[in-house]
Amino acid sequence: MANKSVFATIAGKLLPPADARNHEGAQAYRPSPEQALAQLAATGTFNATFYAEPREQLDEMLKLAWQVEPGFLARTAVHAFEQGFMKDMPILLLAVLSCMQGDEFNRAFGRIVRNGKMLRNFVQVMRSGATGRKSLGTRPKRLVQAWLEHAADFEIMRAAVGNDPSLADVIKMVHPKPKSASHEALYGYLIGKPHDVAALPEVVKSFEAFKRDPSLPVPAVPFQMLTSMSLTPAHWVQVAQTAGWQMLRQNLNTFARNGVFKVEGFAEKLAARLRNPEEIRRARVFPYQLMVAFTMADAEVPGVVKDALQDAMEIALGNVPQVDGNVVVCPDVSGSMSSPATGYRKDATSVVRCIDVAALVAAAMLRRNPTARVLPFENDVVDIHLNARDTVMTNAAKLAAIGGGGTNCSAPLARLVREKAKVDLVVFVSDNQSWVDATAHAHQGTATMQEWRKLKALNSEAKLVCVDIQPSTTTQAKPQVDILNVGGFSDRVFDVVGTMLTSNGDPDHWVRTIEAVEL
């Protein structure tokens, strides 16, 4: 009989050798600069996480940004904003791009700086010195001027919400040329300079009139401009009645604090809007956004409103792919997953943890694919019974309640191998910092790759998607024709899973997706 240990060693050599160490010091794989940039751009938050400090993330992004071509950097920034729904990361990449030769910066600017908040964020990053300079420079200044000169009056008023820098600071900095008398008056109004009151836009006139006489209708300005005033519950009802769907979702606690739900019948009216299928589709609502709203809703938010969020979740699940075949979802429920999904932020840390996000992905996949298996793992697989007919919120809560233990990414794969399970798609949702299963020798590859190779011997067409929901530059599974690594915890994860099934085995599919972005 052949010596099993010898042939096991040979089989291990066929695996790609580990070429990096993760934050726990265990074997891992290092992606190419393009792959790493694509992943971090979709998941980086510049806040402290369980494993990384903000400065560490910033330094890593700056290093990667200068290792790729300006065209790829510009496309990554646009993709992170338009498809990843990120804010700080695209702005940082845009600021780096402004220091590079070529017209990529000009072409990307208008795709990313779409509103006043992003404009102020861009100016803040440029002046911070994070990218090597503390002034705007000629090209950035010209584009900031152009944004102010072409923005509508209401958009400029919306941009006036916020500080550091304030919009007034930006106006004083770049000196935009007013395109009309109303713009000239508006600039003067915002920076506290003499101006023609009669030429002010109507939105400003109605705001100033309301400040003098609160009996007038609530003006159509950002509600943040009204919060310093003594608004009555009736005023807040007016604000809620004219608010967009996303604004309603984001401000349920604000409405509760200001007595909106004490107005008879209004909670039911607001709930009806939240569960309205047409409004949900028009607002492009995703499950993660609804989970955040549901998790953050205070006790003062009525049950009928919270129930409406669960109803909206069922409608929003239209984005979650239905997969033919045998699906296995593996959410990481280890101790490190208890950290906030967007990192620790002073006075603004999210109550949504990484484990909540992993649980959401698993519960959503189960809801759309009732025959799917869910194998949560920490040191080993944790056995749990989930009913596919239960709501996503219910199953997500069950999974998130596990928590604790070390990280062993290979455990679910090892169980599937022992069972000789039939598998078509395996989806991991983790921070990828596996260490319990660390192997002794890097040349043998990670334990995850070893177990995946065994599972592939049983299921030759199987595919693996590894979702990393925390910023990292290492992976446990090396990208290849049947393995896709993706960074980010936004709802685009569901699109990625669906796309993997039609990617024709492209290990750089995520990079190709970014390269396909038109500037």
Q: Which CATH architecture does the domain made up of 17-29+320-515 adopt? A: 3-Layer(aba) Sandwich (3.40)
What is the spatial distance between Cα 359 and Cα 391, in angstroms, rounded to a whole number?
12
Residue type, 488: G
Q: How many Cβ atoms are within 10 Å of 169's Cβ, its own excluded?
A: 16
pLDDT for the residue 504: 61
- Taking only the tens place, the pLDDT of each residue in 358-415 is 888 888 889 888 999 999 999 999 999 999 888 888 888 888 888 788 999 999 999 9
Give me the chain's average pLDDT, please: 84
* pLDDT tops 80 at residue 122: yes
486: helix, coil or strand? Answer: strand
Length of the chain: 519
Q: Does residue 144 contact residue 112 with C-beta atoms inside 8 Å?
A: no
3-state secondary structure 132-176: CCCCCCHHHHHHHHHHHHHCCHHHHHHHCCCCCCCHHHHHHHHCC
29: helix, coil or strand? Answer: strand
Residue whose token pair is 């233990």: 405
Q: What is the DSSP letter of 20?
A: E
* Strands of 463-468's sheet in order across: 373-374, 327-331, 425-430, 463-468, 483-487
Confidence of residue 321 (pLDDT cuts 50, 70, 90): confident
In sequence order, what are the residues at sequence separation of 6 or more whose Cβ sits closer than 8 angstroms to the Cβ of residue 358?
Answer: 331, 332, 333, 337, 399, 429, 430, 469
Cα dist. 450→8, 12, 410, 454, 516 in Å? 10, 7, 8, 7, 33
Q: Does residue 333 contact residue 288 with C-beta atoms inside 8 Å?
A: no
- Enumerate the domain spans of the chain: 17-29+320-515, 245-319
3-state secondary structure 398-467: HHHCCCCCCCCCCHHHHHHHHHCCCCCEEEEEECCCCCCCCCCCHHHCCHHHHHHHHHHHHCCCCEEEEE
Closest by CA position to 136, among listed 148, 128, 146, 127: 127
- Taking only the tens place, the pLDDT of each residue in 15-35 is 788 867 787 778 887 778 887
pLDDT for the residue 343: 55
Confidence of residue 471 (pLDDT cuts 50, 70, 90): low
Most confident of 1-10, 203-212, 436-445: 203-212
pLDDT for the residue 277: 92
Average pLDDT over every residue of 446-469: 91
Structure tokens at 375: 């194998």
DSSP string over 272-297: HHHT-HHHHHHTT--HHHHHHHHHH-
Average pLDDT over every residue of 173-199: 92
Higher pLDDT, 222 or 199: 199
DSSP string over 310-330: HHHHHHHGGGSPP-SS-EEEE
Q: Does residue 408 contact residue 436 with C-beta atoms inside 8 Å?
A: yes
Residue type, 366: L
φ/ψ of residue 87, rounded to 5: -125, -60
φ/ψ of residue 20, rounded to 5: -155, 170
250: helix, coil or strand? Answer: helix
* pLDDT tops 50 at residue 48: no
Q: Does residue 52 contact residue 13 with C-beta atoms inside 8 Å?
A: no
Specify the range with the lowest mean pLDDT, choosing from 93-97, 388-392, 393-397, 488-492.
488-492
* pLDDT tops 60 at residue 52: no
Q: What is the pTM of this model?
A: 0.73
pLDDT for the residue 4: 47
Relative orientation angle of helices 447-458 and 411-419, to the nearest 10 degrees: 30
Confidence of residue 255 (pLDDT cuts 50, 70, 90): very high
Residue whose token pair is 């709203």: 293
